[in-house]
Chains A and B, each alone.
Chain A
Amino acid sequence: MIVAEKKPLEAVARMLENYDRVLAVGCGTCVTVCFSGSGKEVAALAASLRMKRRIEGTPLAVGEGMVQRQCEWEYLDPLADQVKNYDAVLSLGCGVGVQTLAKRFPGTRVLPALNTLFMGLPTEQGVWEERCQGCGNCVLDKTGGICPVSRCAKQLFNGPCGGSQNGVCEVDATVPCAWHMIWERAEALGMTEALMEIEPAKDWSTSRDGGLRRMVREDLRAPREETKEG
């Protein structure tokens, strides 16, 4: 899932300084599962903003809205009538949600209430961890299912750096060393020999570094040529 966390109230309030009426919109998918953009979070943020502005003597009307997925056009249509009544939309979605809302409602200012963090999972109740950076060229087959791109602070491809100690990373003692885990897993699977091969420099052109990425499935696109024979 995409994991996001709420921005400090002060930061959100600053974005809304010049508005009197905003619609806070949650998202029922990833950010609901990570407790940052669910209906409850929308209600809590809306109440907090209303109280803050009342105390400051500049009351703010905050409406509450919710969609199943902010990142798909169909789900945004029902918001259209609600959006009309507000000066701005405050999205409690990930960065994708914010941008989809902004595109769908071009005449309305859309602002982010969350900081989008990473693609990851809950490792225990209340804790989420990164697992993937979308590098566009998965190497998990070579590393025993443990990702060195997202889980090694130095994105090493050829084994642990000299800072790996007692299984933890030199950057943060609460973070396990990815290469320590990769090595242990390889030992358990009897696959250490594969780690002796030098992994050549990665082609990052499939990663963020290549600019906007796009996936196309021609078989799924709406047929465009009416003359095309079936």
Chain B
Amino acid sequence: MTNPDTVIASPAATAGGFHPEVVAFCCRHCAYAAADLAGGKRQPYPSAIKIVELPCTGRIDIVNILHAFEDGADGVLIAGCLPGSCHYIRGNLYARQRLDYIHGALKEIGLEPARARMINISAAMGVQFAELASEHVETVRALGPSPLRGQAQEEGNPA
């Protein structure tokens, strides 16, 4: 059912203040490499960011994002290539459209749309990745913990 990649290890939601958990879906060709670069340069980015590597942000499915939230993520970051630089031509543009769709879906569900954000960067932009990722973590921190955090997940198929 749920993609195991997106499962957040049981977060201690309230103990000792709020530590947001943000799942970052990163394109291998840009953001994933940028995150690596940030690490290599000792440029810190928040530990709240849990990276999921994708071949392209165009691979993202709405269901992946919904499952991330269902499993307790406080926020989702989609990090794809700069416009015009997608290795698969328009994958990042599709991801942007799906994010618009997700924003509508989150509203319907009762979650703040601002919990999901997309950024566009290149593989060389390690510093920017760290800055933008921190920015989103702060946005999510301001919104507070997801109401879905730490609750036992309802069983879907009992059979």
Contacts and interface: CB of A to CB of B under 8 A. Distances in A.
The answer to whether any beta carbons of A and B sit under 8 Å apart in the complex is: yes
Interface of A: 8-10, 21, 40, 43-44, 46-48, 50-56, 59-64, 81-82, 85
A9 B108 contact: yes
A50 B70 contact: yes
A40 B101 CA distance: 14
30 contacts: A8-B108, A9-B105, A9-B109, A10-B108, A40-B63, A43-B66, A44-B63, A44-B105, A50-B70, A50-B156, A51-B69, A51-B70, A51-B109, A51-B110, A51-B148, A52-B108, A53-B154, A55-B111, A56-B110, A60-B154, A61-B155, A61-B156, A63-B156, A63-B159, A64-B1, A64-B156, A64-B157, A81-B159, A82-B157, A85-B159
A43 B159 CA distance: 17
Nearest to A126: B97
Chain B interface mostly: loop
Nearest to B71: A47
Contacts of B105: 9, 44, 48
B135 to A, nearest CB: 25
B16 interface: no
Nearest to B102: A44
Contacts of A61: 154-156, 158
A144 B32 CA distance: 55
B159 to A, nearest CB: 6
Contact of B159 (A8, A44, A56, A82): A82
Contacts of A44: 62-63, 66, 105
Given A50-B70, A63-B157, A43 B109 contact: no
Contact of B148 (A10, A21, A55, A63): A55
Interface string B54-70: 00000001110011011
A140 to B, nearest CB: 35
Contacts of A46: 156
Given A54-B148, A63-B159, A64-B1, A48 B108 contact: yes
Contacts of A81: 159
Contacts of B63: 40, 43-44, 47
A55 B150 CA distance: 12
B147 interface: yes
Given A9-B108, A52-B108, A55-B110, A47 B66 contact: yes
Contacts of A56: 110
Nearest to B101: A44
Given A48-B109, A50-B70, A61-B155, A40 B147 contact: no
A46 B62 CA distance: 12
A21 B110 CA distance: 20
Contacts of B109: 9, 48, 51-52, 55
**Which of the listed residues B1, B105, B154 has the most CB atoms from chain A within 10 Å of its own CB?**
B154
Contacts of B47: none
Nearest to B2: A47
Nearest to B67: A47
B70 A47 contact: yes
Given A48-B66, A51-B70, A62 B111 contact: no
A51 B111 contact: yes
